[in-house]
Structure 1
Amino acid sequence: MSENVSTAGGNAQKPKKKWEFPHVFALMFGLIIITAVLTYFIPAGEYERETTNVNGTERTVVINDTYQEAEGSPTGFFEVFQTVHKGMTQSADIIFFIFIVGGAFGILNATKAIETGLANLSMKMADKEIYLIPVIMSLFALGGGTFGMSEETIPFIMILVPLAIKLGFDSLTGAAMVIIGSGAGFTASFMNPFTVGVAQGIAELPTFSGMAIRLVMWIIFVTINITFVMLYARKVKKNPEKSLMYKIDSDRKLDNLSSQYNKLTGRQSIIIGLLVATVIILAVGVIYFDWFILEIASLFLIMGVIAGFVGNLRVNQIAESFIEGCKDLIVGALVVGFAYGILVVLEESNTIDTILFAASNLVSQLPTAFSAIGMYVFQSILNFLVPSGSGQAALTMPIMTPLSDLTGVSRQTAVLAFQLGDGISNSITPTAGVLMASLAIAKIPWTTWFRWVIPLILLSYLVGGIILTIVHMFIWIA
């Protein structure tokens, strides 16, 4: 029998097209359009700003009580399309960082060292794979908690996603070990110079003061996040069809995950040692020499070139492998520019300061007992618009600091409210370039990721609120 049923008029019914969620570029551009429309309804205004020295670094911060209305500058039709280019220009350092790292891993993959190394590791970890998750996530959480590991996590997506699949888990598990691991450490950081350090400097508090409280919070958050990932990974291990990525992972071209066991050659062992050395040098450079994107990209490029020669690749093979690696990360790199385009709209329309002014007025009217939670909610919402930790600190802490004095909230508590609000939503916000790039590299749709991680995010918000209330009422009393 035909699947199409004839109607009374003899016309066959056309099969309904299945609804598809928009491509990540369509999603991001849609958010740009929505933000542009809002600029016609949000009054324009701005704070005065000044350059100040925060922990030895010059930063531009807003000046409290200087907000005034400004001439409206809504985003026009042509300007909407210009924001994509402007966003990519502003985020060019991250975009090209992703391309260079991708190219370096393209060379690494051409040597087959990672492929063979993963096969060997999966053989050795038989029946003990689940214990890799807490170890790996704890290391990333330590990076997030100490030196604010964020952009630095992107290269590891390319290693841990295929590793997770090889070990019988799925790509969600592999990406989560990186994103959720570093995110938990970043959120509950005890000495992140880019968030806690900057915020405490602006609030005129001793750098990294209150570390004992934050260490306890770090342990709590990391434990919750590791448990969440392990429970999901165990479920997928028992029944792969329960994976939210089952179909997509089944369709992946993962030639490098062949079940054939090959012993590592001497050259491949040296290349894996080179990768380990690169990671160690990266950590030392970031912690002790203030390395950032420029230095890290250069480090991975050096690693890729050396690995190519050690792997006995010809010069042309190295170049071609570099290009192949860049091709794999085109979506992940360019989506960062779209994410920055949203911030461009808010900045050029002079509406972001209006949002800040309105929120601070609302918080100031709350009872003392709820003021800290009000700051927490405000910082959480603002993080969807300004996902940069240091950028959000420079924008909000000059206002939250005197506001905390007026509302009876300890400045230390105000910093904690900023820290938690800035960190928790980093694992879901579509304006976070690093998250969107990581998901694109892992080939995980944002909607699938959101559906999977939202219970953890809600739990984290609840735990964060409880911790904030406890320290506000019983520990850091103004």
Structure 2
Amino acid sequence: MPDAFVILFFVILIAGAMTFVVRPGAFSTETVAMGETGDERTVIDANSFRYTADSPAGVALFDGSGSQTGLLNYAFDGLVSGDRWGSAVGVVAFILIVGGAFGIVMKSGAIHNGILALIARTQKADKLIIPLMFLLFSLGGAVFGMGEEAIAFCIVLVPLVIALGYDSITAVLITYVATQIGFATSWMNPFSVAIAQGIADVPLMSGQTFRITMWAVFTLAGLIFTLRYASKIKQQPATSLSYESDAFFRNKEEAVRSTFSRTDGIILLVFLAAILWVIWGVTAKAYYIPQIASQFFAMGVGIGIIACFAGRMRANDISQAFVEGARDLLPAALIVGMAKGIVLVLGGDDVTSPSVLNTLLHHTSELMADTSSAVSAVAMLVFQGIFNFFIASGSGQAAITMPLMAPLSDLVGVSRQVAVLAFQLGDGLTNLIIPTSASLIGCLGVARLDWSVWIRFVWRFVLMLLLLAAGTVVLAVMTGLS
């Protein structure tokens, strides 16, 4: 597969070509009361579309005046567009700062040591390890978007799980698969849900009750599947698709060395307090992207200071951990900016101003005009799942698709909250199978599993999750999630 930036470059070429063949158009907006609360929100008037020019406008190859976005201006203009409250510059800064803060948390070793200590204490009660690990990793995906970190835990857990009589597939299930179920059903993931809700102009962390329930249902479904599979392998190890490749680990008795200390306990308490602070800020004070980023930054600084006083990290180590954490998320931040550049080339995302994007919205909504709101929502879910094969970054996909999906939801009678739900489920669940996911391929590599073997095993489970996701989206429409 081409790299995400290569794909984006060809998308920008297609977007530029469309400006020469598609006439720009615009909508009018109206203010309506939303749900039982009666809160007012500005939405598109579906019948107000009008063309604003007799012929396509076309886009310049390069604009030197700075008043428009030419094809070659898309990267810079996209990155610096908007303001501190949203896409793109605000979201880019948010991703880098929060990524840096979590870099300090992970570098402190507290989360790693805490999980190893839990494993060490339950090692002889192996029936406790699987559910405990699955729940913890699912929470990690839901709370702070755990993904690539699962690779490090696979290195530790694959030999241990095989030594307990299971297989490497079981280890991938309780690490990577659990994180992605949590990621897909999260109520507060700063790198997917928060960004998508911000772009869709939906209050951050709204719909928590529905999403927490959804997380519990999907996590339970994943856990039941994992426990049943693990029990089968425990009884008949040779039936495993990875039985031959697991021979590399099978005779290696892996001892878990726990180094959990009082410092780890203090750091984890500060981490928990910071998460509660973020939740309180959003729900009680209506904090938004600038404040949330600063809260996570404060958490990173606080944890770094604790680790420094404990002799675990030096001041320079804290700085380096922040830089490394931000660097890990730099591709996602760049994708967000360049995705905004694509929107600018198409004329921008203001539905009342002439743009090619508005014309595309109009014709897409016409295709869905004869379908119900539930069918339209499922179509959004399918679109997001397919799109994830090309852009595996959750924040990047949100930046590319939500400027289209949010106003489209207004036109087809679906709430923007449901559009965000379709995005997170379609994005997160397909991460379990796409070969473009660095996290998945990394975990499979550690477990010495070929992707083709993994697909043979997991496709039925992923299909079940996607059907459950479709049912969830339909239920959200029927219950008026907004």
Q: Give the TM-score range, shorter chain.
A: 0.5 to 0.7
2:365 maps to what in 1?
360
Taking the aligned partners of 1:465 and 1:374, their CA distance within structure 2 comes to 11
1:32–1:80 Cα contact (<8 Å) kept: no
Residues 232-271 of structure 1 mapped to structure 2, 5 A cutoff: 259=255, 261=257, 264=260, 268-271=261-264
1:162–1:171 Cα contact (<8 Å) kept: no
Give the gaps of 5 or more residues in structure 1.
1-21, 251-257, 402-410
Residues 336-347 of structure 1 mapped to structure 2, 5 A cutoff: 336-338=333-335, 340-347=337-344
1:196–1:419 Cα contact (<8 Å) kept: yes
Taking the aligned partners of 2:218 and 2:293, their CA distance within structure 1 comes to 27
CA spacing shift, 1:49–1:341, aligned 2, 3 Å: farther
Q: CA deviation at 1:426?
A: 1.7
Query: Secondary structure, in 3 states, of the residue corresponding to 2:422?
Result: helix
Aligned partner letter, 2:278: G
Q: CA deviation at 1:99?
A: 2.8
CA spacing shift, 1:338–1:133, aligned 2, 3 Å: same
Residues 30-41 of structure 1 mapped to structure 2, 5 A cutoff: 30-39=6-15, 40-41=17-18
Q: CA deviation at 1:181?
A: 1.6
- 1:273 and 2:266 equivalent? yes
Taking the aligned partners of 1:160 and 1:49, their CA distance within structure 2 comes to 52
- 1:398 and 2:374 equivalent? no
1:271–1:310 Cα contact (<8 Å) kept: no
1:269-314: CA deviation from partner (whole Å, max 9, x where unpaired):
223332233123313422444352331132122212221222354x
CA spacing shift, 1:270–1:468, aligned 2, 3 Å: closer
Q: CA deviation at 1:468?
A: 5.9
1:181 maps to what in 2?
182
Query: Secondary structure, in 3 states, of the residue corresponding to 1:311?
Result: coil
1:95–1:336 Cα contact (<8 Å) kept: yes
Taking the aligned partners of 2:113 and 2:213, their CA distance within structure 1 comes to 39
CA spacing shift, 1:100–1:136, aligned 2, 3 Å: closer
Taking the aligned partners of 2:238 and 2:321, their CA distance within structure 1 comes to 34
Taking the aligned partners of 2:357 and 2:317, their CA distance within structure 1 comes to 44
Q: CA deviation at 1:215?
A: 7.7
2:381–2:422 Cα contact (<8 Å) kept: yes
Taking the aligned partners of 2:346 and 2:295, their CA distance within structure 1 comes to 34
1:306-359: CA deviation from partner (whole Å, max 9, x where unpaired):
21222354xxx3313541563476344324423552343134223443332222
Give the gaps of 5 or more residues in structure 2.
64-69, 81-87, 162-167, 348-355, 388-395
Q: CA deviation at 1:361?
A: 0.7
1:101–1:301 Cα contact (<8 Å) kept: no
Q: CA deviation at 1:166?
A: 6.8
Taking the aligned partners of 1:374 and 1:380, their CA distance within structure 2 comes to 10
2:305 maps to what in 1?
305
2:67 maps to what in 1?
none
Q: CA deviation at 1:427?
A: 1.4
1:225 is aligned, of 203, 222, 227, to 222
TM-score (normalizing by structure 1): 0.62
CA spacing shift, 1:62–1:457, aligned 2, 3 Å: farther
1:47–1:62 Cα contact (<8 Å) kept: no
- 1:45 and 2:41 equivalent? no
Aligned partner letter, 2:379: V
2:30–2:45 Cα contact (<8 Å) kept: no
Taking the aligned partners of 1:81 and 1:239, their CA distance within structure 2 comes to 57
CA spacing shift, 1:261–1:201, aligned 2, 3 Å: closer
- 1:319 and 2:321 equivalent? no
Residues 441-456 of structure 1 mapped to structure 2, 5 A cutoff: 455-456=460-461
2:101–2:297 Cα contact (<8 Å) kept: yes
Query: Secondary structure, in 3 states, of the residue corresponding to 1:387?
Result: helix
Aligned partner letter, 1:180: I
1:283 maps to what in 2?
276
Taking the aligned partners of 1:183 and 1:165, their CA distance within structure 2 comes to 24
1:175-214: CA deviation from partner (whole Å, max 9, x where unpaired):
3322222313459xxxx99989998989xxxx869x78x8
Taking the aligned partners of 1:240 and 1:305, their CA distance within structure 2 comes to 50
Query: Secondary structure, in 3 states, of the residue corresponding to 2:185?
Result: helix
Taking the aligned partners of 1:228 and 1:74, their CA distance within structure 2 comes to 52
1:381 maps to what in 2?
383
Q: CA deviation at 1:392?
A: 6.4
Taking the aligned partners of 1:269 and 1:231, their CA distance within structure 2 comes to 37
2:422 maps to what in 1?
421
Q: CA deviation at 1:436?
A: 6.5
Q: CA deviation at 1:130?
A: 0.9
Taking the aligned partners of 1:194 and 1:329, their CA distance within structure 2 comes to 17
CA spacing shift, 1:470–1:194, aligned 2, 3 Å: same
Aligned partner letter, 1:359: T
CA spacing shift, 1:242–1:276, aligned 2, 3 Å: farther
Q: CA deviation at 1:377?
A: 0.3
Residues 43-192 of structure 1 mapped to structure 2, 5 A cutoff: 43=22, 45-48=24-27, 62-69=44-51, 71-74=56-59, 76=61, 82-86=73-77, 90=88, 91-106=92-107, 108-109=108-109, 116-126=113-123, 127=126, 128-136=128-136, 139=139, 144=142, 149=143, 153=146, 164-165=157-158, 167-168=160-161, 170=171, 173-186=174-187
Aligned partner letter, 2:363: A
Taking the aligned partners of 2:196 and 2:275, their CA distance within structure 1 comes to 20
Query: Secondary structure, in 3 states, of the residue corresponding to 2:3?
Result: helix
Query: Secondary structure, in 3 states, of the residue corresponding to 2:398?
Result: coil
Aligned partner letter, 1:31: I
1:234-269: CA deviation from partner (whole Å, max 9, x where unpaired):
78996899569x89x99xxxxxxx8473554xxx32
Aligned partner letter, 2:12: A
1:97-149: CA deviation from partner (whole Å, max 9, x where unpaired):
2134214433x14xxx55554443322121232121443256458xx5xxxx5
Taking the aligned partners of 2:225 and 2:369, their CA distance within structure 1 comes to 36
Structure 1 vs Structure 2 CA RMSD: 5.3
Which stretch of structure 1 is more off in the superposition, 342-351 or 72-81? Answer: 72-81
Taking the aligned partners of 1:208 and 1:115, their CA distance within structure 2 comes to 31
